[in-house]
Amino acid sequence: MASAIGLDIGSSAVRAVQLTGGKGGHTLDRLGQVMLPPGAVRDGEIVDPDAVVEALQILMSRYKFKGKKVALGVANQQVVVRQVDLPSLPEAQLRESLPFQVQDYIPIPVDQALLDFEILEEYANPDGTAMSRLLLVAAAREMVDELLAVMKKAKLEPVLLDLDAFALLRALADEPAPVEEGQPRTVTTGELIVNVGSTVTNIVVHSGGIPRFVRILLMGGNSVTESLQNSFGVSWEQAEAMKSAGHAPGSPEGSMISERAQRFIDEVRGSLDYYRAQGDSVQVERVILSGGGAELPNLAERLAEAVRLPVDRGHPMQSLQIGKVDLEPAQLAEAEPFLAVAVGLAMGALE
């Protein structure tokens, strides 16, 4: 039976899950987390390679992951995602011609970027020209090379390099309803997935599991912690405890938490408004919220009020069978908000 490890290198920790896949679905066999020293990964980019390598080695040995092949995700300011319309070509020719067609759409020189795409739809212009609408992904080659160098030093072998947003879709989006063979799939509604990490938040709109819009925000739960730490002169651990305590709105602590949370909510609402203004946008019907930073008290309720949509918690383990992971149900439920990216990466490697 095939097995895959999804590895999520976050700003505060490295996390991994191991799934096995068969006809009956995916089974969760192992999961683990090792915290990183502050600053080892900043805004999704590795700053201290040696610290990350050490954490990865501890992670793999402590939780007894089987094998060295891993699926990796990226989400930082060195990654750009754009919707692009190009003349339709066979996929192989499209991939070959991509560097000559997309420079105007991305801020990274194409000779310094790794390019990938997903075809969203095919259509015809008013003049009859066949066109392809793509979701284009461009990643700075230097950033990817640095990530691969860390993997090599940790004696790990990447088999998949994916966008965190695509991993989130696999883990959190409902399976699209089946359609009859030969019939087109028509989806007119969508969902907004918001995965809040320590310093990076992934926003993705999808319809029927097809990504329509992706944005990477360089903000997350740590911004609240840092504000509390600096304003009240407390340790990081004390600030984290203050953040989770749920202070009265009128208290100094509560006011600061509320103000920082509002900045975040405004960014999410602005991203949704931007997407809705696109001519080909679908109607977003609900928000799925996940990630460790999403545990901030009252965040889900305030976000629901701001975007005027229902907000549900994401459950990346909802479709998994649970193997012998040696954790109680309550412990699994506590870990689940942190695991969406790793679960989705492992799913991708099993596809």
To the nearest whole percent, how much of the chain has pLDDT over 70? 94
- What are the CA-CA distances from residue 90 to residues 114, 117, 138, 248 (Å)? 20, 13, 20, 59
State how many domains the chain has: 2
Strand 189-196 versus strand 201-207 pairing type: antiparallel
Same domain, 188 and 134: no
Residue with more model confidence, 246 or 120: 120
Domain span at residue 249?
A: 184-313
Q: What is the pLDDT of residues 165-184, one digit of tens each?
A: 999 999 999 765 554 555 45
> What's residue 175's pLDDT?
64
- Same domain for 309 and 229? yes
Residues 241, 302, single domain; the answer is yes
- Categorize the per-residue pLDDT at 327 as very low, low, confident or very high, splitting at 50, 70 and 90: confident
Q: Is residue 31 part of a domain?
A: no
Distance CA 333, CA 317 (A): 9
> Which residues fall within 8 angstroms of residue 239, CB to CB, at 6 or more apart?
225, 226, 228, 229, 232
Say what the pLDDT of residue 245 is. Answer: 77
Query: Is residue 234 over pLDDT 60?
Result: yes
- Find residue 134's DSSP bridge partners: 84, 119
Same domain, 188 and 302: yes
> Domain check: are 194 and 255 in the same one?
yes
Q: CA 62, 67, 71 angle in degrees (round to 5)?
A: 95
Predicted TM-score (pTM) of the model is 0.92
**Residue 194: both structure tokens together:** 């918001």
Instruction: Find out whether 131 and 83 touch, Cβ atoms under 8 Å.
Output: no
User: Helix %, strand %, coil % for the chain, to 5?
Assistant: 40, 30, 30
State the pLDDT at residue 176: 53
**The pLDDT value given to residue 277:** 95
Structure confidence by residue, pLDDT tens digits, 93-115: 999 999 999 999 999 999 999 99
What does the mean pLDDT of the chain come to?
A: 91
Share of the chain above pLDDT 90, in %: 75
Query: Is residue 211 within 8 Å of residue 165, measured between CB atoms?
Result: yes
124-146 per-position pLDDT tens digit: 999 999 999 999 999 999 999 99
